[in-house]
Structure 1
Amino acid sequence: MADRNSTGILAASGMALALLLTGCSGGDEGSKPLSSSDVGTPWVVPDTDLKDTSGADYRLTDGTTKPVTLVFFGYTNCPDICQMVMANIASAMTRLDDDERKQVEVVFVTTDPARDTEKVLGDYLERFDPTFIGATAKMDRILELGKAFKVAIEKGEKLPSGGYDVTHGTQVFLVDENDEIPMFWGQDTSSAVFARDISTLLKADS
């Protein structure tokens, strides 16, 4: 049995080594390296049909038009890690200047669509940043999308309270303007590191 919310749970065991990369994505010699892990050949984002918190149709391939989109898979009843990661991302956004902030999108994909309705998801993200996008769908579509990100999703055992945990990978992924996933950050990445890496990526893109 995998640990709750353990990092690096994979949809395909053959890709395990890709998510265990520890090398940083580097730039030119003398520039600060990113703290993210490079996946090698970028993964491709599929045209998975989702819904946003307003109930409108949403696809990552259509919605990720900004230079930097951060994607995280989680759920609103997550007792610890999801809240920590989202709080760090929200804090990172406040460290960016206005021009940088306009070039960044943050998408939270629920791993628990049975409980995370559009309203529940919207209320949850409002606490972190009202501009964050929440995405949901039927579970088969969530699993399809998670597979492309090499994130496995499992419903855990029933809790004494009557609820349940959802086991899922806890990486934060970069989706670029080409609808590709070139890198990810670990769950312990601080807001300062997120902000620094985002600024570096935006400068490289300009």
Structure 2
Amino acid sequence: MQERILAVVALLLALAIAALALLWHPQPAPRELPRPGLPAGGDFVLDSAAGKLALADLRGKVVALAFGYTACPDICPTTLLTLADVIAQLEPGERERAAFLFVSVDPARDTPQHLASYTAFFNPAIAGATADPATLAEIAGRYGVIYSRPEGGGDNYAVDHSADLYLIGTDGRIADKIAHGTPSTVIAGAIRKHLQAPR
């Protein structure tokens, strides 16, 4: 009698395992979705005068990220002047937990060394970096950045580009997309807000 019960239990257990193997399909962990209304963003590695600059290395800081180029006649200088004003408004402890990055979409003219000189003119705390065209295009796609360089025309050309500023939260994800022309006081306030956000 006991042997018969054990046989039935073993059979039921075997059937349960077989059913589980056939029917259970665990799903991979979902990728982190972008925050509502914001592009996907994500990590990248760029070339700066100080060497490779990876967004992942800035984890734990709020990063103000701008895209442009050094020969830009108006938008980029205005953006960098605004960032310099933002830096001046932050307390020393806040500045230590924030980073400011200007990414050139014109690597043909903007070498890392030239970018370092250009950004330092506005504030030495602003890092300048770039990458090869294919890498820049891939990063721009993830950040929703649009830019285009005209064909031909020698070295004297303009690059059309979008002018939004991105704030990357301490978790490495895009936390804010800020329109060009937003006052520095508003940007400084947004940085403070994200510095206080739980990690």
- 1:106 counterpart residue number: 100
More divergent stretch after superposition (62-71 vs 115-124): 62-71
Give secondary structure in 2 for the equivalent of 1:189: coil
What is the TM-score of this pair, normalised by structure 2? 0.75
Inter-partner Cα distance in structure 2 for 1:79 and 1:157? 19
Q: What count of residue pairs does the alignment treat as equivalent?
A: 166
| Structure 2 stretches lacking a partner, 5+ long | 1-33
Q: Deviations over 1:104-149 (max 9, x none)?
A: 1011110100000011100000111112121111111011111110
Q: Determine which structure has the larger strand proportion and give its number.
A: 1
The reply on whether 1:97 has 2:100 as its aligned counterpart is no
Change (3 A) 1:163 1:157: same
- 2:140 counterpart residue number: 146
Contact 2:170 2:194 in 1 (8 A): no
Contact 2:170 2:195 in 1 (8 A): no
What is the TM-score of this pair, normalised by structure 1? 0.73
- 1:53 counterpart residue number: 49
* Higher gyration radius (CA): 2
Give secondary structure in 2 for the equivalent of 1:164: coil
Inter-partner Cα distance in structure 1 for 2:60 and 2:78? 24
Give the RMSD, CA atoms, in angstroms.
2.2
The reply on whether 1:166 has 2:159 as its aligned counterpart is yes
More relative contact order in 1 or in 2 (CA 8 Å, sep 6+)? 1
Q: Determine which structure has the larger helix proportion and give its number.
A: 2
Change (3 A) 1:190 1:144: same
Inter-partner Cα distance in structure 1 for 2:44 and 2:79? 24
> Paired residue for 2:67, among 51, 62, 73?
73
Contact 1:68 1:104 in 2 (8 A): yes
Change (3 A) 1:86 1:66: farther
> Paired residue for 2:36, among 40, 48, 53?
40
| Structure 1 stretches lacking a partner, 5+ long | 1-37
